[in-house]
Amino acid sequence: MRLLALDGGNSRLTAAVLENGVWQGGDGLPTSEVEAVGGGVERLIRSVLTACESGPIEGAVACLVRPGLTGVVSSAVQAVLGLPLSRVGHELRPEIEIRYRPVAGCGRDRVLGAWKAREEFGAPVIVVDFGTATTFDVVSADGAFIGGAIAPGVSVAAEALFRAAPRLPRIAPRAPLTALGSDTEHGLASGIYGGYRHLVDGLVGQLIDELGGEPTVVATGGWSELMAPACTRIRHHRPHLLLEAMAQLFAEAAP
């Protein structure tokens, strides 16, 4: 099956195609542009399809966090593919007990990632999602989503520091060779990278102490490529965890 999956997070809409078990594409655009100019989604979908091997798309699925994305994305999928859009939280619902309160206050992307990690690695499990926010999503030993923690994302923190301190330069977060910075940019890279490394390891350690047992820790999200190798508590890196979850849900719901 060739499946189009769209991951609409807080800051970016990403599109990819699953073919023969491999994700292709992965192009995206800011969600602010999606909401303002609907035609951008059609161009995004066409661009991803052009980059992939030829063949018909048999289904389209999306996990959309921002409510304003739903109509625009559904219309674009219909216009380009002539297919209905299956949405996580609507037509597709992962089977996992949610003890977070209120239930509606928990992002469907967090629930989806926690469900997929439990399906693959068992319970208990902790998912660290390095996105606009860095979220820590916890599945208990009996398989329920029970909550977690939310911190500013790596890029959000870097941008906030730049805006709050005009004399500091804007830098792209990166891994410095040493913690001891020999100039301002080096010091910023060290503080952002090293700070987040220890934030993740420390907070995961506290969550494990409170949860008990030996949970598996899984990393995903756009900044996980940079941060996951540095965090000693992380055992598995699954950059496409949400896309994989959408594909599994769609396949299980297919007649």
pLDDT (tens place) for every residue of the chain, 255 residues total: 789 999 988 888 999 998 877 888 877 888 777 765 556 888 889 888 887 766 789 899 999 988 778 889 999 999 999 999 999 988 889 999 999 999 888 889 999 999 999 999 999 999 999 999 999 999 999 999 999 999 999 999 999 999 999 899 999 999 999 999 999 999 999 999 999 999 999 999 999 999 999 999 999 999 999 999 999 999 999 999 999 999 999 999 877
Nearest one of 17, 21, 19, 20 to 4, comparing CA atoms: 17
Same CATH topology for 3-87 and 103-245: the answer is yes
CATH code linked to domain 3-87: 3.30.420.40
Residue of 109, 137, 142, 201 marked catalytic: 109
Fold adopted by 103-245 = Nucleotidyltransferase; domain 5 (3.30.420)
Amino acid at site 228: A
Claim: this prediction has a pTM higher than 0.85: yes
- Domain boundary assignment for the chain: 3-87, 103-245
To the query of whether residue 209 is one of the catalytic residues in this protein, the response is: no
Q: How far is 62 from 179, CA to CA, in rounded Å? A: 40
